[in-house]
Structure 1
Amino acid sequence: MNPKPLIFVDLDDTLFQTNRKSPPTPLHKIATLDQFGEPLSYMLPKQQIFVNWLLASADVIPVTARSVAGLQRVHLPFLHGAVCSHGGTILAADQQVDQEWLAIQHKAAAELDELLDELPALLLDYAKPFGSIRTWTMQENGGKIYTVAKQNDPAPLFLHQMIEQLPAEVLEHCYVHINGNNLAILPKFVSKQKAVEFFINKYDPNRERAILGWGDSLSDAGFLGCCDWFGMPKNSQLDKFLVQNLAQDHQAKGYLGHV
């Protein structure tokens, strides 16, 4: 019997979305709860069909910005491990933290400890000309992972204007991901792509299985590139980027393709 495919899949805005983005109807299914136990995210009927197909057909590994605690609030049975916190934490199939990956992360984080301590206050200062934000450091497994800034008012969006003020030291050691009114500054060693590469090498070293991936945002492109096949939801950030750049490429050259 051929082994089941191994599928790495992003969660938020790939398998479900918050009620703010898609007001639920009786046909929606609750997918996640917030920290107070209230429904937060829902699956559309098509997403329910897709998720059922994935879980029945493959060993599914969520690859998510959610912390381990946030993943535990997802009402889907992921039984084969997970990549959490943008790649800062890997869970094995027994849901225990992979200690080898954790040691790699802690060693790298120790070298940026001072920088990670300073970032939340720096971002608050940089935001003053534009609007009000709140910031925090994402911590897990006894260590700092990355820094988050979130606008207190969802519009107008201004977080991208703060990036120009970041010190060269930050951009040397970190990368920035913006999704609407959320901004994350992540050390380069915290990476969905690097975590998925580690997961494959450790838990599927012979590469005998077909590996598939799904994700919605530009930050997912790295880990999707680790897969034999990958896809994205229609009208997602990644889909819109692809369509826009294909159109620009065609307009510039007059044809699709390369010679």
Structure 2
Amino acid sequence: MNAKPLIFVDLDDTLFQTHRKSTPTPLHKIATTDKLGEPLSYMLPKQQIFVNWLLESAEVIPVTARSVEALQRVHIPFQHGAVCSHGGTILGANKQVDQEWLVLQQQATAELEHLLNDLPNALLDYAKPFGSIRTWTVEENGGKIYTVAKQNDPEPLFLSKIIANLPAEVLEHCYVHINGNNLAIIPKFVSKQKAVEFFINKYDPERERAILGWGDSLSDAGFLACCDWFGMPKNSQLDKFLAQSLMQDHHAKGYLGHG
């Protein structure tokens, strides 16, 4: 069997990072542009080598929080489909929205319509004791996907304090993802892991190919667990969490491994 491996890979902070996180040099390569066409993210030389190796060696599927529109502003030639919007949308190799997955998402969204409608305004109230935020709902394919809150002042960070004010209904049906001054409240059926599982079952049902994954954040752990092998960038959130967990485990037991 000579089929190429199937690789699922996160984008931001895995294959590239914004210029705010890494000041570009002449050796950096533009990876994404903003809505005005201005450079936004860059690849380091090592990341360029890694991306070229991935594209030459495998069928590469980006798995990203980016919308379909934002993925179109990524200057990497993905040709085999994509998982976008935290798993809310799947694109096939023809770059068209996977209709089976869309129907499943629409059915699940309809059951939470009242909650998703109320969340943006409710978050404004929950944040009042801590600071000023702005909120919006990410929409795609004619429907709501998840809700976002962003601090109006970048410091001090306080979004984690809002979680204690969230109603039980929200926590029952949604999970929360915080990245600095951004908070996303995402329905549990919108999931990178669930989308990757669906993608594998539909497009590689026999599971004959080697499946690999790369991601940088704790929120990527779910879809990485779908892969036969997975990895993470050095000094990423996942890498630091693993190192800390190993250290705590060793400190608690006095040895590495399971007795």
Q: How does 1:62-141 map to 2 (within 5 A)?
A: 62-141=62-141
Identity of aligned residues (%): 84
Distance 2:201 2:136 in 1: 33
Residue 154 of structure 1 deviates from its aligned partner by 1.6
Structure 2 counterpart SS, 1:177: strand
Partner of 2:256: 256
Higher alpha-carbon deviation: 124-133 or 191-200: 124-133
Distance 2:73 2:86 in 1: 17
Partner of 1:172: 172
Residue 42 of structure 1 deviates from its aligned partner by 0.4
Partner of 1:241: 241
In structure 2, give the amino acid aligned to 1:53.
W
Residue 181 of structure 1 deviates from its aligned partner by 1.1
Deviation string 1:73-131 (CA, Å, 9 cap, x unpaired) is 00000000000000000000000000000000000000000100111111111111211
Partner of 2:20: 20
Distance 2:177 2:258 in 1: 30
Partner of 1:57: 57
Deviation string 1:26-55 (CA, Å, 9 cap, x unpaired) is 111000001111110000111001000000
Structure 1 counterpart SS, 2:3: coil
| Runs of 4+ residues over 3 Å off in structure 1 | none
In structure 2, give the amino acid aligned to 1:52.
N
* TM-score, reference length from structure 1: 0.99
Q: Name stretches of at least 5 consecutive residues in structure 1 with no aligned partner.
A: none
Q: How does 1:143-222 map to 2 (within 5 A)?
A: 143-222=143-222
Residue 152 of structure 1 deviates from its aligned partner by 1.7
Distance 2:189 2:156 in 1: 32
Structure 2 counterpart SS, 1:195: helix
Distance 1:138 1:194 in 2: 19
Q: Name stretches of at least 5 consecutive residues in structure 2 with no aligned partner.
A: none
Residue 151 of structure 1 deviates from its aligned partner by 1.2
In structure 1, give the amino acid aligned to 2:258.
H
Residue 176 of structure 1 deviates from its aligned partner by 0.5
Distance 1:235 1:134 in 2: 30
Partner of 1:232: 232
Distance 1:153 1:28 in 2: 29
Distance 1:231 1:240 in 2: 13
Structure 2 counterpart SS, 1:146: strand
Deviation string 1:222-246 (CA, Å, 9 cap, x unpaired) is 0000000000001111111111111
Distance 1:138 1:131 in 2: 22
Deviation string 1:134-156 (CA, Å, 9 cap, x unpaired) is 11100000110000111122211
Q: What is the number of residues matched between the two proteins?
A: 259
Distance 2:156 2:21 in 1: 17
In structure 1, give the amino acid aligned to 2:98.
D
CA RMSD of superposed structures (Å): 0.7
Partner of 1:34: 34
Residue 10 of structure 1 deviates from its aligned partner by 0.2
Partner of 1:5: 5
